[in-house]
């Protein structure tokens, strides 16, 4: 009889973050897919109902001012800022990650010296970043060069205008060295643009500390903003005056209600805004961010590593050796908040796991992906998932 179930129980009992689970709507399912869609914070439905019934239903147009709708993109950006190590005034929320990748890349190229004609992109990236980078390069007359993050230092040079990288790889869960890569990019005179989709809310990012130039991220994963909740754009304060948006919509105008035919950009991160914000999603996100009150990202990171270590230990005990290959690095300095296991029948195995109440996801062609969200995932969840996995793989 394995001692792991008892150990899991003890680890849960000693876990200071365990009570946070009550802030979410969860059931008996072991939910290891918060790296795709975060769970629903329990207070969000009532808050959204208030936005719909009172702010929209009763106050109607007055809500742009009285309910703070107009300033929501920057206000909510300031709520996200401490989670990614940014001082206030550098993040605006709105649009999708894809759209923000576009804004960030074109703006970065416009800030770089004209002689720099290359844009480097993570060759292993979540596809949307690669597609958008290709279009940004084509529109600006630059050459797109896909390279793996490990190849970036060797690929940098006088020709590099900007580099787009993922902090954590969506497939393998590998955490890339943001401080070192940003420093290398700066040493060659280029701009560093980071996609934080798989790191924000799971581990410390340190945007200001490491001098990141521009960053984007989604809010529906570890920030639990809900399906399709708006993404965010970070523009380092020192660069804001030079941020020349390729999508200069009226919401980014210095005087939006001046209705001038001439465009004058607003000061600060507001330049990253485009058109009318998606208020319902934005305010659902704002409510969702309340779950972070009193929670430190450092504590979240410590639990995330403990959870993924424990899950790997359970998989090691419950699964026949060689049946799966772990593609997530073992070193803590190289691991995000997910474990990715490779096996040829991953698609079928994940279907069976989901059918028995263990929800992770399958990533083409052969990866089983298990995301660990420290705010609501426990050690018993990790043990149950590994046990079910071992049985399905047997």
Ligand X SMILES: Nc1c(O)cccc1C(=O)C[C@H](N)C(=O)O
Ligand Y SMILES: Cc1ncc(COP(=O)(O)O)c(C=O)c1O
Nearest approach, Cβ of 180 to ligand Y (angstroms)?
A: 20
Q: Per the residue annotation, which of 195, 213, 278, 361 is the catalytic one?
A: 195
Nearest approach, Cβ of 327 to ligand Y (angstroms)?
A: 16
Instruction: Examine residue 170 and tell whether it contacts ligand X (CB under 6 A).
Output: yes
By C-alpha distance, which of 356, 334, 348, 355 is closest to 393? 348
Partner touching 96 among ligand X, ligand Y, none, CB below 5 to 8 Å by kind: ligand Y
Instruction: Give the C-alpha separation, 73 to 94, whole Å.
Output: 6
Q: Are 86 and 208 in contact (CB under 8 A)?
A: yes
Instruction: Give the C-alpha separation, 67 to 59, whole Å.
Output: 8
222 tagged catalytic: no
Partner touching 327 among ligand X, ligand Y, none, CB below 5 to 8 Å by kind: none
Show Cβ contacts of residue 360 under 8 Å, excluding neighbours closer than 6 positions.
32, 33, 350, 353, 354, 368, 369, 370, 371, 385
Nearest approach, Cβ of 27 to ligand X (angstroms)?
A: 21
220 tagged catalytic: yes
User: Mask of contacts with ligand X, 112-151, x by CB under 6 A?
Assistant: --------------x-------------------------
Hunting for tokens 């790191």 — which residue is that?
Answer: 199
Count of other CB atoms within 10 angstroms of residue 39: 23
Given 56, 75, 98, 332, the residue binding ligand Y (CB under 6 A): 98
Instruction: Give the C-alpha separation, 216 to 101, whole Å.
Output: 6
Instruction: Examine residue 67 and tell whether it contacts ligand X (CB under 6 A).
Output: no
Question: Two tokens at 177?
Answer: 């060295």
195 tagged catalytic: yes
Nearest approach, Cβ of 126 to ligand X (angstroms)?
A: 6
Partner touching 67 among ligand X, ligand Y, none, CB below 5 to 8 Å by kind: none
Q: Is 198 annotated as a binding residue?
A: yes
Hunting for tokens 């990533």 — which residue is that?
Answer: 363
By C-alpha distance, which of 145, 138, 139, 180 is closest to 162? 145
Instruction: Examine residue 170 and tell whether it contacts ligand Y (CB under 6 A).
Output: yes
Instruction: Examine residue 382 and tell whether it contacts ligand Y (CB under 6 A).
Output: no
Q: What is the 3-state secondary structure (H, E, C) of 289-333?
A: HHHHCCCCHHHHHHHHHHHHHHHHHHHHHHCCCCCCEECCCCCHH
Q: What is the 3-state secondary structure (H, E, C) of 97-121?
A: HHHHHHHHHHHHHHHCCCCCCEEEE
Count of other CB atoms within 10 angstroms of residue 51: 21
User: Mask of contacts with ligand Y, 209-228, x by CB under 6 A?
Assistant: ---------x----------
Instruction: Examine residue 373 and tell whether it contacts ligand Y (CB under 6 A).
Output: no
Contact range with ligand Y by CB under 6 A, out of 96-104, 245-253, 334-342, 359-367:
96-104
Given 15, 129, 286, 392, the residue binding ligand Y (CB under 6 A): 129
Instruction: Examine residue 36 and tell whether it contacts ligand X (CB under 6 A).
Output: yes
Given 67, 96, 135, 148, the residue binding ligand Y (CB under 6 A): 96
Nearest approach, Cβ of 347 to ligand X (angstroms)?
A: 14
Instruction: Examine residue 205 and tell whether it contacts ligand Y (CB under 6 A).
Output: no
Q: Is 264 annotated as a binding residue?
A: no
Question: Two tokens at 218?
Answer: 């989604």
Find the angle CA(76)-CA(77)-CA(80) to the nearest 5 degrees.
Answer: 90
Q: What is the DSSP letter of 335?
A: B
SS3 68: coil
221 tagged catalytic: yes
Helix, strand, coil in percent for the chain, rounding step 5:
45, 15, 40
232 tagged catalytic: no
Q: Is 127 annotated as a binding residue?
A: yes
Instruction: Examine residue 195 and tell whether it contacts ligand Y (CB under 6 A).
Output: yes
Q: Per the residue annotation, which of 174, 221, 363, 387 is the catalytic one?
A: 221
Q: Are 224 and 41 in contact (CB under 8 A)?
A: yes
Q: Is 129 annotated as a binding residue?
A: yes
Residue 15 or 129 with smaller CB distance to ligand Y: 129
Count of other CB atoms within 10 angstroms of residue 89: 17
Q: Which residues are annotated as a binding site for pyridoxal 5'-phosphate?
A: 97-98, 126-129, 195, 198, 220, 250, 276
Q: Which residues bind ligand Y (CB under 6 A)?
A: 96-98, 126, 128-129, 166, 170, 195, 197-198, 218, 231
Q: Which stretches of the chain bind ligand X, using CB under 6 A?
A: 36, 126, 170, 197
Catalytic residue positions, numbered: 126, 195, 220-221, 369
């Amino acid at each position: 009889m394995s001692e792991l179930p008892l150990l899991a129980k003890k680890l849960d009992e000693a876990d200071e973050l365990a009570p946070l689970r009550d802030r979410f709507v969860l059931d008996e399912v072991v939910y290891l897919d918060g790296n795709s869609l975060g769970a629903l914070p329990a207070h969000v439905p009532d808050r959204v109902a208030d936005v719909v019934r009172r702010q929209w239903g009763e106050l109607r147009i007055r809500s742009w001012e009285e309910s703070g709708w107009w300033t929501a993109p920057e206000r909510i950006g300031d709520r996200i800022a401490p989670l990614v190590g940014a001082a206030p005034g550098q993040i605006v929320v709105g649009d999708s990650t894809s759209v923000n990748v576009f804004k960030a890349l074109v703006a970065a190229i416009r800030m770089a010296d004209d002689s720099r004609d290359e844009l480097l992109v993570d060759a292993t990236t979540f596809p949307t970043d690669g597609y958008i980078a290709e279009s940004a390069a084509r529109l600006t007359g630059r050459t797109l060069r896909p390279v793996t993050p490990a190849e970036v230092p060797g690929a940098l040079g006088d020709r590099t205008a900007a580099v787009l990288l993922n902090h954590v790889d969506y497939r393998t869960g590998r955490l890339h060295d943001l401080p070192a890569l940003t420093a290398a990019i700066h040493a060659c005179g280029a701009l560093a643009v980071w996609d934080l989709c798989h790191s924000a809310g799971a581990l410390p990012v340190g945007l200001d500390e490491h001098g990141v130039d521009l960053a984007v991220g989604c809010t529906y994963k570890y920030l639990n903003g809900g399906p399709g909740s708006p993404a965010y754009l970070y523009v380092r304060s020192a660069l804001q005056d030079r941020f020349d948006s390729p999508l200069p919509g009226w919401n980014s105008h210095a005087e939006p209600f001046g209705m001038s035919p001439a465009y004058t950009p607003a000061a600060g991160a507001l330049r990253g805004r485009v058109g009318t914000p998606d208020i319902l999603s934005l305010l659902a996100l704002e409510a969702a961010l309340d779950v972070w009150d009193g929670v430190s990202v450092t504590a979240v990171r410590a639990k995330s590593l403990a959870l993924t270590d424990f899950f790997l230990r359970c998989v090691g005990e419950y699964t026949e050796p060689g049946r799966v290959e772990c593609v997530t690095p073992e070193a803590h300095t190289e691991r995000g908040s997910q474990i990715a296991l490779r096996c040829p029948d991953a698609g079928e195995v994940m279907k069976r796991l989901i059918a028995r109440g263990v929800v992770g996801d399958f990533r083409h062609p052969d990866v089983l992906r298990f995301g660990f969200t420290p705010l609501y995932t426990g050690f018993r969840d990790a043990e149950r998932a590994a046990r079910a996995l071992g049985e399905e793989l047997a």
